[in-house]
Structure 1
Amino acid sequence: MMTGGLSDTKPATPEVQQIVNQVKPQFESRANTNCREFKAIEYRIQVVAGTMYFIKVQVSDANYVHLKVFQRLPYENQGPSLADFQTGKTRDDPLTYF
């Protein structure tokens, strides 16, 4: 993968789910909603000065959101932050840069 480019789409891992769990309160606050379900389905990454994650998250039976999450470099010792999100997505919508 080229630095700055998006990786291929991969199935979500426990590490990605942990990132999703950490940014859930940020998403709920900014989207003004409460999600009982918040399950990472798949993801792509972009290597920048840290890692930008693009993550498809299932929030109900038929509803999905796409999250853009920035994970700083390890030495900065900070958790992930929600950079942006898109709502109204479906299971079949591709993860693209936004």
Structure 2
Amino acid sequence: MMCGGPSATKPATADTQEIADKVKSQLEEKENRKFSVFKAVSYRSQVVAGTNYFIKVDVGDDEFMHLRVFQSLPHENKPPTLHAYQTKKAEHDELGYF
């Protein structure tokens, strides 16, 4: 991993799914739609003053979204925040920095 750069893409874990679940309502509000499927597939992380997570999420019907979620440092006691997202992604699309 490059210092300050994102990690290699890894399979999603239970922790990744938990982070995605915590920002699901933020995404639904921005997209003005509800997701019956919301499954984290893979992720990359980047340590900053906290952690940026780049998460590929399966939202059903062969549609994927890429989320950029910021998790502040533990002592700040703040929930994860959806900072950016990309729509109309496919399963094979590379999860890059955005």
| 1:92 is the counterpart of 2:71 | no
Q: Which residue of 1 aligns with 2:13?
A: 13
For this pair of structures, how many residues does the alignment match?
Answer: 98
| 1:69 is the counterpart of 2:69 | yes
Question: What's the TM-score, normalizing by structure 1?
Answer: 0.97
The runs of 5 or more residues in structure 1 that have no matched partner are none
RMSD: 0.7
Question: What's the TM-score, normalizing by structure 2?
Answer: 0.97
Q: Which residue of 2 aligns with 1:23?
A: 23
The runs of 5 or more residues in structure 2 that have no matched partner are none
| C-alpha distance in structure 2 between counterparts of 1:40 and 1:3, whole Å | 25
For the residue of structure 2 that corresponds to 1:85, the secondary structure is strand
**Maintained 8 Å contact 1:3/1:46:** no
| C-alpha distance in structure 2 between counterparts of 1:15 and 1:3, whole Å | 23
List structure 1 runs of 4+ shifted beyond 6 angstroms: none
| C-alpha distance in structure 2 between counterparts of 1:70 and 1:3, whole Å | 18
For the residue of structure 2 that corresponds to 1:59, the secondary structure is strand
